[in-house]
Each structure stands twice: as structure tokens, then as C-alpha cells.
Chain A
Amino acid sequence: MQLFDFNGGVTPEYHKEASTQSPIAVSPAPSRNGLKNFLVIPLHQSIGGTPRPLVSAGDRVLKGQRIGAADGDMSSAVHASTSGQVVAVEMRRMPHPSGLSALCVVIEADGRDEWIARQPFDYHQHTAAETRDYLRDAGVVGLGGAVFPTHLKISPGKGGKLDTLIINGAECEPFITCDDLLMRERAEAIIQGVVILRDLLAAGRALIGIEDNKPQALAAMTAAVQAGGHQDMAVVAVPTRYPAGGAKQLIRVLTGIEVPHGKRSTDYGVQCFNVGTAYAIHEAINLGQPLISRIVTVAGNVAAPRNYAALIGTPLHTLLANSQPLPDTDRLIMGGPMMGITLPGDEVPVVKATNCILVGSPRLFPPPPPEMPCIRCGECAKACPADLQPFELYWFSRAKIFGKAQEYHLFDCIECGCCAYVCPSHIPLVDYYRFAKSEIWANESEKAAADQAREQYEFRQLREAREAQEKAARLAARTAAGRAAATNALAMAPVTAPAATSAAASAVTSAATPVTEPAQTPSPQAALIAAALERARAQQVQPANTTNLTPEQQAEIAAIEARRAQIRTQAHPHLPPDD
């Protein structure tokens, strides 16, 4: 098969051997030795809305029971990972660098690991929409790291069918081996998931891309495809070069198609799913098991690197106990060394996005040497898989020339880290891009908020003006009517009451007309609008109320900003390489 190439990329040391020596282990065994095991299951584990809790403290839950219902279609359900009692629904620290908290369901495991009634879902007997709803309620999301709800990706492109379904088993980040082990040990189940995806997407063919540094996974997957007799599937060894596992890069390598930033890949006849996601689909559809566990690599500065089938919600200290972090451990990273995030502590739980817990040490990841000025050597541009000019983006981001940064396609950056990896000046380039992106988002949302406020203000001004006019009109009418009635009573005393009423009515009409008339002619109202606009404009250029703040207020604003940034990162996925 003809393979294509993508520009750039790097070949760091892979460090994948250590964690692939032993098979996948189960972690943790619920309630061993009479010790209490708690699972902390965050409700918000995917892109999209936060599921609303379906349980409260004191409830008994079964393994696989839905505890969080998807909030609309752009969301995904969450489930109890084992049976036990809900002890709290409360804010707990998230596996996120900010260390901020989010709503979690805390379950005390009863050790019985009692399942709900599991029913396979025959998708042949259901409509596509029903199947999508089923997967949403089964909590299936992309397990490559981006945790995008899978049901939203299961719709064929134009013409109701897809040319090529791409299954991502590249796993290009150093240290991470969860997909490798999953493919080695559960290839047939993955292929069953691929069959489901192929059927749902009406895909012409399925290509399973695996980096050629995983010969055992390649062999196992090839054997599974052959055993299933799938003529329309092919397992393809792709050259090992980070970030070959980036969805866009893998699509390019396998099909030659470049999916631009911000476009749906189905519009280009391709769709890409991670092997772990295919496995989760198989479990959900064929076994009736929602997504309650995933394979997690524990690697780096540990005595026994290994892969674990970990329940969602397992606190990291429980997960790490078996692998024994070494004494000089200085950090925990979720993900790999190129794109992973530093975690705030070891009590945060395993979530659906946790493909790897990389235990760091100063020896493994020494602090970066001092940052030097950029010498425009262009190494970053050579390494950039998006064909950007990272040093230009760095310059614009640093100088806060955000318009230029966007012009130079800042948002095409996938934050893979190749540029910073090769930079001889040790510039944390990706940090500058993250900063620029968040500033631009903040500006945009501020602008949107200001626009909305201005519109509301203008509307209120108009309404008040209209109400004032109407009030004046009513007042004038009443006065005129009263005066007319009085005059009539004086002039024609014997006239009956109905006549007086009609006269008053005509007086109302005649009195009201001069008042209401101007409302239909443009001049005064236009003046009002102009004045309102003027006021709004004046208000806009007035200094914001964010000057001269107390430290407390500043701290509060910083917290809000951080929270906003967190929401934003979740709302704007920069698809990590292993999606």
C-alpha cells in the first residue's frame, strides 16, 4: 500500500520497552484485605456539557449504573465503575494542572463488583440516531486523550457513506504503551469494534495504522483481521516518527488527505478512531458494558512500569502503588512527555482521558536550561508537522500581536511540542502559543459579552423611551378627555351620558394623535437610538472596572480566569496526537 509522508516531526527516545514486559494487570482489586476503597468519578470527563448527577449520597449503585446523564447531545454519560455506596456528590480536585475542583460522585466500593443487567445492543435493529444515543448513554468517548464524545463522530459524511475508516494504533508518544498492550492482548475485540464502526459509518474500507516499532501489536492485529476474514480491512505499519499518531498526521500518512483545521474529516471521506475507542465500542455494543475502565500505562520513574486495566475513578496513589514510584519522584504527568499535563497531586482520579501516568524525576526530565533569545535558526519550522513557522508565532505571541499570530495560523498548531523539543534556545514555545490562544479566546468572549451588554442596554433604552411616550400619551389623553367632558357638560347639560362618552373617546383620539405621531416619524426616536448608541460607545471606551483592585479581588479574578481557561480547553480541543 502506498504511504504518504507528513513534514516535520521528531524522533525522541521511545522508552516503551519497560512497560511492555508484563501483560496488562488489573488495578485495583476492589476492597482488598478489608481496606475501604473509594472511587472518585468526575461527572465531566469529555468534551461538551457536564452531565447532571443521577445519584446522591447514601444511594447504593451497581457496577455500570449510570450516575451522570448526558447534558444534551454534546455530552456523554458517566457510570459507576464498581458496586458500592455513594458517600458524597461533591467538589474534588481534578487531574488538571490548575488543580481546580469539579463535581464528582464518590463511591465506597463494597467489594462485590456487582454488575447491572447487561444487554447487548443490536445496532442492526435500531436506527442510527438510536445507536448514537445508546453510545452517548454508554459514556463512550475517544480514548486517545481528546475524549471527544464518540457518538458525535459516528455519522457518515456527504452521500451517506465514508471512504475510509481509520483506526489509530500509532501511539507515537514516548513511554505510552496502553494501546500497544491492548492490541497485543485484545486484538479480536478491537476488530469487533472496528466492524461496528465500519457498519455505522458505511465505510468502504478500514485502515488500522500502527507505528512500525510495535511488531507484536502489528502481528496480533493482522492475525485478528485475517481470522475474521475481513477483506475490507488492512493493518498498516507506519514509519515511527512523532507525531505520526496525531489524527491529521495519520490520515495524511494513510490516505494522503490533509484535513484542514476546523473542518470535519468526514467531509473529506475519512474518520479516525483510537484503538481503545474501538474496544470500548465493542464492549458497549456487544457486551452491554458502558465505559467504566480503561488501560493506563504507568511508566517513568517507577520500579515496575506496567499497564493496568484501571477503573475510572481510581485515585492515582492506588493505581501507582503496584508500580512503586522511586524516592526522587518530583511530579506526575498525565499523558506522555511531549503533550502530557502535570498533575496537582496523587489523589486525583483516573479519568477517561488518562492513557498514561508518567512518573517524573529530575533525572528523567531535567529542568530546562535557561531560555535564550530566538536566533531564527528555523529548526522549529523544520520540525513542525503542521508546516507552521513557529518562530514567527513565538514572536507575535510574545509581542502580543495576536492578529498577526492568527494570520500566521496560530490555531492550526496542535501543540505537539516538536518545536520546543528541537529549539536550541530552549524556548518553551508551546507555552507562548497556549498563552496567545487563551488571550484570543478571552478577548473574543469579552467582546461577545460586551456586544450582548450593549444590545441589552440599547434595548432597555428604547423600551424605556417607548414606555415614557406611551405614558405621556395616556396622560395627555386622560387630560384631554376630562377637559372635553367638562366642556360638554357645561355647554349641553341635558345630553345623555353615552354622547359624553363618545365625545371623550373622540377627544382621546384627537389628543393622542399628536403625541403618538412622532413615534412613527423617524426624527426623535432616531435621536434616542443615536444617544443610546453614543452612551453605549462611551461606556465601551471607559476603563474597565478591573483597575485599582485589591489583592483579594485580583486573586478572585485570577481564579475565575483559570476556571474559564479550563472550560475553554475542554471546549476547544487541540486534538492530541493519540486521538
Chain B
Amino acid sequence: MNNSPYLRQATSVQSVMLRVLFALLPGIAAYVWFFGAAIVLQIVLASLTALAAEALVLHLRGKPLAIFLTDGSALVTAWLIALSFPPLAPWWLVVLATMIAIIVAKHLYGGLGQNPFNPAMVAFALMIVAYPQFMSRWPGTDAIDFATQWQIIFGLHANQALDALTMATPLDALRTALHSTNATTVTVASALAHNPAIGLMAGRGWEWIAAGHLIGGLWLVQQRIITWHLPTAFLATLFLLAGLASTINPSEFAGPLFHLFGGGAMLAAFFIVTDPVSAATTPYGKLIFAAGVALLTWIIRSFGAYPDGIAFAVLLMNIAVPLIDMATQPRVFGHKKNGSNHHG
């Protein structure tokens, strides 16, 4: 016997997670179109690893396997890892990263719903610190055939030839140019002008992947899986910061469109800062959290040692979530002040 309410909306964690996966498809399609099928291979590797690691830990924890393996949450983590890692990274890098995400970042903290940090971002941050050399294996747009990509991922390709096949991301290209020895003469404009990786707004190909994530993300908003607060605050803050800085000093700072479409900003805006478990939950809290991630991202991109700072920015803001949530409790019906115990 159960108590009221006896009616329940037809919804489930699984349906939420599956719709998130579905929303990633436009971005993945653009990825394959511009950079070949390597990303699909990485997604498959990450997914299999995630399910295996999840099953192992669930077994060790004595949890029911069927319910939790099919909830889709491990697959979302796996896909986000694959999509934020360089597609030509060696197979074991993604496998290791996924294992860390599922076993350490998710289950050691208590499993689904309990992790204070975004598991995919924990994996990314650890790998870029531990294996920076493999974390730069981004493919060029001169389509490499899948056989070659396969050989690179599984280490069957001669390493010296790799440099010819991989290419810096737009963010990385800009950073390298601006921070090179003769950086005094290099401006953002000159760095981007003669770069084959640069397309209409940002990176060639990358901007279309970003557009794909934007479309998928808007669909998630329409499906009420995510609210507008997090992506809007993230993108608006990044846009404003980059716009302001590039207006003041256009030779040193890249413009807003470059920031929004050049790296993982769109993926982060709709799929990473929106992770409900590790993000702030109140309406104002969401705005603060996402704006904080954008601020830290822009700072790390502009002044830091890493080309894209989203992972570190997300993790730093994850730490602040309990405080943000506590400080931004919404006004309760009939009460005057936020968080006040006094009626009236």
C-alpha cells in the first residue's frame, strides 16, 4: 500500500538521461562531418567502460544492477567525456578517464545524485594535468580516413607522423600565437587571419559542432529537462566579458563569438553546467553558479596555462554550490523575506 499522491507523471531518470543523450546527437553529427568517425569510436569506448565500471561498483556496493545500469546516467557521463576529449587521444586515455569519473567521482561520493563534482569534468581535469601531451591530439579538418584514426587511437600509427595529422584547436592556436616568443608583434587578428583552423566565427568545424550543441540544448530547454537560467547566465557572462575585453584591447583579447563557438562553451552551457546533481538549484543560485563558471573560464582562457578552462571553472564552482544554494533560497509563499523564519 502506498500513500497519496496515487497519480504520478510518466517520467523517470532514464527518460531524462535518454533525452540528454538524444540532444547530443546534432553536435556529434557535426563532429563526424568535419573531423571523421573517430569521435564515435571514442564514444563507444567511453560508454562500454562506463557501463562496465558502473556494473562493477554497483555489484561491490550491493546495489540492484538492472535499475541503475539502465538509468542512463553513466552513459551521459561517458558521452560528455568523449565529447570533451581529443578524438585522436589513445584508447586507454578515455578508458582511464571514464573509470575515474564513474568509480571515483561518482560512486566513491555515494553514486547517482550524490557527487558534488561533475564526474566528466573531474576526469578531464585529471587527464589534462597528468597527460597533457595526449590531451592535444585534436584532428585537423582535412578529413583523415577512419582507418588512420583507428590506428592512431590504438597506437598502431607511427608517432612522428602524428604532428601532420593533428591540429591545434582554435583556442589553442590563438594561445600559442599570442604567447609565442615574438608575441609582441602578434595580435588576435593576425593570429587568426592565417590560421587554417579558423572558420567564419571561430574554429572551422568547431563552430558547427557548437551550433549542433546549441540546437540540442535549446531542445532540452523546450523539453523542460533544463531551465534557461544556467545556459543563459553562462553564455551571457562569457559574451559580455569577452566583448568588453576585446573592445578595450582587441589585439590581446579574442571576441565574444570566438569564445562562444571556438571551444567547449556550447557543450558546457547546455550539457555540463546544467548537470543537476553538481550545479546550484535555486533560480538565483543557477545564475550565480553559471556566471561564475563563465568568469573563471574566461580568466583561465585569457590568462591561464590551459587553452580551455571550463573543467577547472566548473569544479571550482561545484565547491561553492552548497553556499550558493543556501544563500539564494527563494521566497516561500506568504513570507516576506528570503530565508526568513518570520511570517508576514
Contacts and interface: CB of A to CB of B under 8 A. Distances in A.
Q: Choose among B1, B112, B334 the residue with the greatest number of A CB atoms under 10 Å from its CB.
A: B334
Nearest to A431: B3
Contact of A333 (B6, B325, B335, B344): B6
Interface stretch (B233-241, B274-282, B311-319): B274-282
B267 to A, nearest CB: 20
A335 to B, nearest CB: 8
Given A372-B67, A381-B281, A258 B334 contact: yes
A369 interface: yes
Contacts of B1: 331, 342
Query: Contact size class for A?
Result: 35 or more
Contacts of B2: 367-368, 428
A341 interface: yes
Contacts of A377: 16, 276
25 contacts: A6-B333, A174-B7, A248-B333, A260-B334, A260-B335, A262-B343, A337-B5, A339-B5, A370-B64, A372-B71, A372-B112, A373-B112, A375-B16, A376-B277, A378-B227, A381-B282, A387-B332, A388-B333, A392-B281, A407-B341, A415-B4, A420-B8, A421-B5, A425-B113, A430-B5
A261 B335 CA distance: 8
Contact of A373 (B114, B227, B332): B114
A389 interface: yes
B329 A378 contact: no
Contacts of B344: 260, 263
Interface in B106-133: 111-114
Interface string A330-360: 0101010111111000000000000000001
Given A331-B1, A375-B276, A388 B332 contact: yes
Contacts of A97: 3
Nearest to A249: B333
B15 interface: yes
Given A373-B111, A376-B113, A408 B329 contact: yes
Contacts of B181: none
B332 A375 contact: no
Interface residues of B, number: 38
A459 interface: no
B331 interface: yes
A340 B333 contact: no
B10 to A, nearest CB: 10
Interface in A187-222: none
A402 B276 CA distance: 25
Contacts of B329: 389, 408
B160 interface: no
Contacts of A174: 7
Contact of A387 (B281, B325, B333): B333
Given A258-B334, A335-B4, A340-B6, 7 more contacts: A260-B333, A331-B1, A339-B4, A341-B3, A374-B113, A421-B8, A423-B11
Contacts of B331: 387
Given A381-B281, A386-B333, A373 B8 contact: no
A373 B12 CA distance: 11
Contacts of B73: 375
A422 B112 CA distance: 19
B6 to A, nearest CB: 4
A421 B9 contact: yes
Nearest to B334: A260
A532 interface: no
A97 B4 CA distance: 11
Contacts of A335: 4
Interface string B303-344: 000000000000000000000010001111111000001011
A421 B111 CA distance: 24
Q: Which 3 A-B pairs have the closest CB atoms?
A: A260-B334, A417-B5, A373-B113
Contacts of A382: 227
A158 B114 CA distance: 50
A400 interface: no
Nearest to B225: A377
Contacts of A391: 281
A11 to B, nearest CB: 10
B7 A337 contact: yes
B4 A386 contact: no
B8 A389 contact: no
A474 interface: no
B8 to A, nearest CB: 6
B67 A370 contact: yes
Contacts of A367: 2
